[in-house]
A and B are shown apart, each in its own frame.
Chain A
Amino acid sequence: NAGVTQTPKFQVLKTGQSMTLQCAQDMNHNSMYWYRQDPGMGLRLIYYSASEGTTDKGEVPNGYNVSRLNKREFSLRLESAAPSQTSVYFCASSEAIVKFFGPGTRLTVL
């Protein structure tokens, strides 16, 4: 039982490049989330998916898109990366209010 897994663990992009962050959970949770963590800012919600087939914007959705591929997987896409998107990205899943987090993807945009 791996919980929430994320790939890649580290990534460096040039401004304007695109990439997709992958997330999968094996806890059969309905809800999944993407957060970003920046120094002094805590965790900020980018997008969430309350159930398979639905997605909604969070606090900071600009510059991102998401896909809830199935119940297990929720991906985050950066179409044209910007330096302001340098951050640590966490995926999480939940059945009720308690969220379980993945280990994070550390993204640097040059």
Chain B
Amino acid sequence: GQQLNQSPQSMFIQEGEDVSMNCTSSSIFNTWLWYKQDPGEGPVLLIALYKAGELTSNGRLTAQFGITRKDSFLNISASIPSDVGIYFCAGRPPYGAGSYQLTFGKGTKLSVIP
């Protein structure tokens, strides 16, 4: 099946620094989603991307749908302690109608040092 490579696996950064993480795939996706999971909670949607080349922001977060449709990037600017958590990318392959199978990356664990 589809495989997503998410990197880095973990990051330790100083408060105030910018963060970049990405997901890559060997095959194309029609939709990219980015989720954040706080410790002890379920994943919460941050950004959804529906078109190749799309660049979308949500506050200090910016995500891009790669032009090749095989990758996506998430950037966090000026990190703060509450950014701590696990960030997941998820992609929807270009199947026909009825495809409910999002493929998830294994997550990037972000730690912010005050």
Spell out A's residues near B (CB within 8 Å): 4, 31, 33, 40-45, 48, 50, 58-59, 90, 92, 94, 97-104
Query: Contact: B88 with A43, CB < 8 Å?
Result: yes
If A90-B42, A102-B42 are given as contacts, then 4 extra A-B residue pairs at C-beta distance below 8 Å, sorted by A number, are A4-B42, A92-B42, A98-B45, A101-B44
Q: Which residue of B lies closest to A106 (CB)?
A: B40
Dominant secondary structure at the B interface: loop
B31 at the interface (CB under 8 A from A): yes
B46 smallest CB distance to A (angstroms):
11
Q: How many A-B residue pairs have CB under 8 A?
A: 48
Dominant secondary structure at the A interface: strand
B51 at the interface (CB under 8 A from A): no
Query: Contact: B106 with A99, CB < 8 Å?
Result: no
Query: Contact: A100 with B106, CB < 8 Å?
Result: no
Query: Contact: B100 with A94, CB < 8 Å?
Result: yes
A56 smallest CB distance to B (angstroms):
8
Question: How far apart sit A100 and B107, CA to CA, in the bound complex (Å)?
Answer: 17
Query: Contact: B100 with A48, CB < 8 Å?
Result: yes
Q: Kindly list chain A residues whose C-beta atoms are within 8 Å of the C-beta of B33.
A: 97-98
Q: Which residue of B lies closest to A41 (CB)?
A: B106
Q: Which residue of A lies closest to B1 (CB)?
A: A59
Query: Contact: B105 with A42, CB < 8 Å?
Result: yes
Question: How far apart sit A44 and B101, CA to CA, in the bound complex (Å)?
Answer: 10
B 10-53 contacts with A by CB, 8 A: 31, 33, 35, 40-45, 48
Question: How far apart sit A101 and B88, CA to CA, in the bound complex (Å)?
Answer: 13
B98 at the interface (CB under 8 A from A): yes
Query: Contact: B1 with A43, CB < 8 Å?
Result: no
Query: Contact: B106 with A40, CB < 8 Å?
Result: yes
Q: Kindly list chain A residues whose C-beta atoms are within 8 Å of the C-beta of B98.
A: 50
